[in-house]
Amino acid sequence: MGARKWSGSDQAMNPEFKLLVLFCLAGIFALGLPWLAWRRVRSLEKKYGRILLVRGVTGAQAARIVLLRGDVSQVDVDESDIAVTDFYSAFEPAIKLSSGVYSGKRLFDVARAARLAGHALQHRDRKLGGLASWDSFMIFWGNAWPILLPLTVIVSKGRPWALIGFALVAGSIAIIHLLKHTHVQDAARRGRRELDGAKLLDGHPEKEVEAAFLAARLDHMALHYSKTWLRLLFS
Protein backbone atom coordinates (compact mmCIF):
# COMPACT_ATOMS: atom_id res chain seq x y z
CA MET A 1 0.00 0.00 0.00
CA GLY A 2 1.23 3.47 -0.83
CA ALA A 3 1.84 6.08 1.77
CA ARG A 4 -1.18 8.22 2.62
CA LYS A 5 -0.91 11.69 1.17
CA TRP A 6 -1.11 14.67 3.51
CA SER A 7 -3.95 16.78 2.19
CA GLY A 8 -4.87 20.35 3.01
CA SER A 9 -8.09 19.17 4.69
CA ASP A 10 -6.12 16.84 6.96
CA GLN A 11 -3.86 19.70 7.93
CA ALA A 12 -6.82 21.94 8.65
CA MET A 13 -8.31 19.32 10.98
CA ASN A 14 -5.04 18.79 12.84
CA PRO A 15 -5.42 20.20 16.41
CA GLU A 16 -1.80 21.27 16.52
CA PHE A 17 -2.24 23.18 13.27
CA LYS A 18 -5.26 24.99 14.70
CA LEU A 19 -3.30 25.90 17.81
CA LEU A 20 -0.50 27.23 15.65
CA VAL A 21 -2.96 29.38 13.71
CA LEU A 22 -4.40 30.71 16.99
CA PHE A 23 -0.91 31.52 18.23
CA CYS A 24 -0.05 33.35 14.99
CA LEU A 25 -3.27 35.36 14.97
CA ALA A 26 -2.85 36.42 18.59
CA GLY A 27 0.75 37.37 17.91
CA ILE A 28 -0.22 39.42 14.86
CA PHE A 29 -2.92 41.21 16.87
CA ALA A 30 -0.58 41.85 19.80
CA LEU A 31 2.18 43.23 17.59
CA GLY A 32 0.01 44.81 14.92
CA LEU A 33 -1.63 47.42 17.14
CA PRO A 34 1.57 48.82 18.65
CA TRP A 35 3.30 48.61 15.26
CA LEU A 36 0.58 50.71 13.63
CA ALA A 37 0.70 53.18 16.52
CA TRP A 38 4.47 53.38 16.29
CA ARG A 39 4.34 53.99 12.54
CA ARG A 40 1.80 56.78 13.05
CA VAL A 41 3.87 58.41 15.78
CA ARG A 42 6.96 58.14 13.60
CA SER A 43 5.12 59.78 10.69
CA LEU A 44 3.95 62.66 12.89
CA GLU A 45 7.45 63.08 14.29
CA LYS A 46 8.91 63.37 10.79
CA LYS A 47 6.39 66.03 9.78
CA TYR A 48 6.07 68.09 12.96
CA GLY A 49 8.69 66.75 15.34
CA ARG A 50 11.23 69.56 14.88
CA ILE A 51 8.85 72.37 15.81
CA LEU A 52 10.03 74.20 18.92
CA LEU A 53 7.57 75.57 21.43
CA VAL A 54 7.21 79.31 20.88
CA ARG A 55 7.12 79.95 24.63
CA GLY A 56 10.44 78.18 25.07
CA VAL A 57 9.64 75.99 28.09
CA THR A 58 11.00 72.47 28.46
CA GLY A 59 9.05 69.25 28.89
CA ALA A 60 9.86 69.20 32.60
CA GLN A 61 8.71 72.79 33.05
CA ALA A 62 5.50 72.09 31.15
CA ALA A 63 4.74 69.08 33.37
CA ARG A 64 5.31 71.17 36.50
CA ILE A 65 3.03 73.91 35.18
CA VAL A 66 0.25 71.37 34.56
CA LEU A 67 0.69 70.00 38.08
CA LEU A 68 0.74 73.47 39.61
CA ARG A 69 -2.38 74.58 37.79
CA GLY A 70 -4.05 71.30 38.71
CA ASP A 71 -3.21 71.85 42.38
CA VAL A 72 -1.07 68.72 42.59
CA SER A 73 1.96 69.25 44.80
CA GLN A 74 2.99 65.73 45.80
CA VAL A 75 4.21 64.56 42.37
CA ASP A 76 7.86 64.94 41.40
CA VAL A 77 9.07 65.47 37.86
CA ASP A 78 12.32 63.57 37.48
CA GLU A 79 14.79 62.89 34.72
CA SER A 80 14.71 59.13 34.30
CA ASP A 81 17.86 57.06 34.05
CA ILE A 82 15.84 54.41 32.18
CA ALA A 83 16.49 55.18 28.54
CA VAL A 84 13.31 53.51 27.38
CA THR A 85 10.38 55.84 27.60
CA ASP A 86 8.51 58.41 29.63
CA PHE A 87 5.91 57.32 32.16
CA TYR A 88 3.92 58.26 35.24
CA SER A 89 4.55 56.20 38.34
CA ALA A 90 1.67 56.33 40.80
CA PHE A 91 3.68 54.55 43.48
CA GLU A 92 6.24 57.28 44.18
CA PRO A 93 4.35 59.33 42.80
CA ALA A 94 6.48 60.84 40.06
CA ILE A 95 6.61 61.67 36.38
CA LYS A 96 9.67 60.05 34.83
CA LEU A 97 10.94 61.78 31.71
CA SER A 98 13.74 60.68 29.43
CA SER A 99 16.56 63.18 29.02
CA GLY A 100 15.33 64.29 25.61
CA VAL A 101 11.83 65.09 26.84
CA TYR A 102 12.94 66.44 30.22
CA SER A 103 15.08 69.19 28.72
CA GLY A 104 13.52 69.24 25.26
CA LYS A 105 11.76 72.33 23.99
CA ARG A 106 9.95 70.76 21.07
CA LEU A 107 6.18 70.93 20.93
CA PHE A 108 6.17 67.13 20.95
CA ASP A 109 8.23 67.02 24.16
CA VAL A 110 5.88 69.42 25.90
CA ALA A 111 2.78 67.51 24.75
CA ARG A 112 4.17 64.20 25.98
CA ALA A 113 5.10 65.65 29.37
CA ALA A 114 1.69 67.33 29.66
CA ARG A 115 -0.09 64.06 28.92
CA LEU A 116 1.81 62.33 31.71
CA ALA A 117 1.01 65.18 34.06
CA GLY A 118 -2.60 64.64 33.07
CA HIS A 119 -2.36 61.14 34.53
CA ALA A 120 -1.34 62.72 37.83
CA LEU A 121 -4.50 64.85 37.68
CA GLN A 122 -6.50 61.68 37.06
CA HIS A 123 -4.83 60.09 40.07
CA ARG A 124 -5.79 63.14 42.11
CA ASP A 125 -9.41 62.57 41.10
CA ARG A 126 -9.10 58.79 41.59
CA LYS A 127 -9.87 58.17 37.90
CA LEU A 128 -6.72 56.26 37.13
CA GLY A 129 -7.57 53.08 38.99
CA GLY A 130 -5.62 49.88 38.36
CA LEU A 131 -4.05 51.33 35.22
CA ALA A 132 -1.77 53.57 37.25
CA SER A 133 1.26 51.32 36.85
CA TRP A 134 0.52 50.08 33.34
CA ASP A 135 3.18 52.17 31.64
CA SER A 136 5.77 50.85 34.07
CA PHE A 137 4.76 47.28 33.27
CA MET A 138 4.92 47.94 29.54
CA ILE A 139 8.52 49.09 29.86
CA PHE A 140 9.33 45.61 31.13
CA TRP A 141 7.16 43.85 28.55
CA GLY A 142 8.48 45.86 25.63
CA ASN A 143 12.04 44.74 26.29
CA ALA A 144 11.31 41.25 27.61
CA TRP A 145 8.93 39.67 25.10
CA PRO A 146 11.51 39.16 22.30
CA ILE A 147 13.46 37.09 24.85
CA LEU A 148 10.46 35.43 26.50
CA LEU A 149 8.97 34.11 23.25
CA PRO A 150 11.93 31.97 22.09
CA LEU A 151 12.63 31.03 25.71
CA THR A 152 9.06 29.80 26.10
CA VAL A 153 9.36 27.71 22.94
CA ILE A 154 12.68 26.21 24.04
CA VAL A 155 11.69 25.45 27.64
CA SER A 156 8.32 24.00 26.67
CA LYS A 157 9.88 22.08 23.75
CA GLY A 158 7.26 23.55 21.47
CA ARG A 159 4.30 22.23 23.45
CA PRO A 160 1.05 23.82 22.23
CA TRP A 161 -0.13 24.85 25.72
CA ALA A 162 2.91 27.08 26.18
CA LEU A 163 2.43 28.79 22.84
CA ILE A 164 -1.27 29.30 23.57
CA GLY A 165 -0.45 30.78 26.95
CA PHE A 166 2.05 33.21 25.49
CA ALA A 167 -0.38 34.17 22.71
CA LEU A 168 -3.19 34.79 25.19
CA VAL A 169 -0.98 37.00 27.31
CA ALA A 170 0.18 39.00 24.29
CA GLY A 171 -3.37 39.34 22.95
CA SER A 172 -4.70 40.38 26.36
CA ILE A 173 -2.09 43.11 26.59
CA ALA A 174 -3.15 44.47 23.21
CA ILE A 175 -6.80 44.47 24.32
CA ILE A 176 -5.95 46.26 27.56
CA HIS A 177 -4.12 48.86 25.47
CA LEU A 178 -7.39 49.59 23.68
CA LEU A 179 -9.29 49.80 26.96
CA LYS A 180 -6.67 52.10 28.43
CA HIS A 181 -6.79 54.45 25.47
CA THR A 182 -9.82 56.27 26.86
CA HIS A 183 -7.80 57.06 30.02
CA VAL A 184 -4.91 58.27 27.89
CA GLN A 185 -7.19 60.51 25.85
CA ASP A 186 -8.60 61.99 29.04
CA ALA A 187 -5.09 62.58 30.44
CA ALA A 188 -4.00 64.32 27.22
CA ARG A 189 -7.13 66.47 27.30
CA ARG A 190 -6.41 67.50 30.89
CA GLY A 191 -2.79 68.29 30.12
CA ARG A 192 -3.65 70.35 27.07
CA ARG A 193 -6.34 72.26 28.94
CA GLU A 194 -3.82 73.39 31.54
CA LEU A 195 -1.27 74.37 28.88
CA ASP A 196 -3.94 76.33 27.05
CA GLY A 197 -4.87 78.03 30.30
CA ALA A 198 -1.24 79.03 30.82
CA LYS A 199 -1.07 80.36 27.23
CA LEU A 200 1.87 78.05 26.49
CA LEU A 201 0.45 76.86 23.19
CA ASP A 202 -0.19 80.33 21.81
CA GLY A 203 1.48 80.97 18.49
CA HIS A 204 1.01 77.43 17.15
CA PRO A 205 -1.56 76.43 14.50
CA GLU A 206 -4.13 73.92 15.68
CA LYS A 207 -2.81 71.25 13.32
CA GLU A 208 0.63 71.39 14.98
CA VAL A 209 -0.81 71.16 18.49
CA GLU A 210 -3.20 68.36 17.54
CA ALA A 211 -0.39 66.39 15.88
CA ALA A 212 1.76 66.68 18.99
CA PHE A 213 -1.00 65.53 21.32
CA LEU A 214 -2.05 62.73 18.95
CA ALA A 215 1.52 61.42 19.10
CA ALA A 216 1.41 61.75 22.89
CA ARG A 217 -1.82 59.74 23.02
CA LEU A 218 -0.53 56.98 20.75
CA ASP A 219 2.80 56.78 22.53
CA HIS A 220 1.53 54.40 25.21
CA MET A 221 0.33 51.92 22.58
CA ALA A 222 3.61 52.05 20.67
CA LEU A 223 5.54 51.59 23.90
CA HIS A 224 6.32 47.86 23.81
CA TYR A 225 7.21 47.96 20.13
CA SER A 226 9.35 51.07 19.76
CA LYS A 227 12.28 49.92 21.88
CA THR A 228 12.54 46.29 20.82
CA TRP A 229 14.69 44.65 18.18
CA LEU A 230 11.71 44.69 15.82
CA ARG A 231 12.28 48.40 15.38
CA LEU A 232 15.63 47.58 13.85
CA LEU A 233 13.95 45.31 11.33
CA PHE A 234 11.25 47.75 10.21
CA SER A 235 13.00 51.12 10.58
Give the model confidence (pLDDT) of 72-109 as tens digits.
999 999 998 765 578 888 888 899 999 999 999 999 99
Distance between CA 45 and CA 15 in Å, rounded?
45
Q: Is 221's pLDDT higher than 50?
A: yes
Residue 226 parent element (H or E):
helix 206-226
Task: With residue 97 as reference, give the H or E element that holds it.
Answer: strand 94-97
Structural element, H or E, at residue 79: strand 76-79
pLDDT at 123: 86
Answer with the residue of higher pLDDT: 70 or 13: 70
Q: Which pairs count as long-range contacts for 29-32, CB under 8 Å and 24+ apart, including other chains?
A: 29/170, 29/171, 29/174, 30/167, 30/170, 30/171, 30/173, 30/174, 31/170, 31/225, 31/230, 32/174
Average pLDDT over residues 11-39: 69
Cα 150 from chain centroid? 23
Classify each residue of 97-130 as buried b or exposed e, where b means 16 or more C-beta atoms within 10 Å of its C-beta: bbeebbebbbbbbbbbbbbbbbbbbbbbeeebee
Question: Across the chain, what does the average pLDDT equal?
Answer: 78
146 Cβ contact partners less than 8 Å away, ≥ 6 residues apart: 228, 229, 230
What CA–CA distance (Å, rounded) separates 124 from 95?
Answer: 14
Q: Could you read off the pLDDT of 114-160 as tens digits, one per residue?
A: 999 999 999 888 765 555 555 555 555 555 655 666 676 677 666 66
Q: Where are the domains of the chain?
A: 22-234
Q: With a cut of 60, say whether residue 194 has pLDDT above it.
A: yes
CA distances from 102 to 43, 58, 105, 164, 223 (A): 22, 7, 9, 40, 18
Instruction: For residues 217-222, give the mean pLDDT.
Output: 80
What pLDDT is stored for residue 219 in this prediction?
83
> What is the spatial distance between Cα 198 and Cα 196, in angstroms, rounded to a whole number?
5
Q: Are 189 and 118 in contact (CB under 8 A)?
A: yes
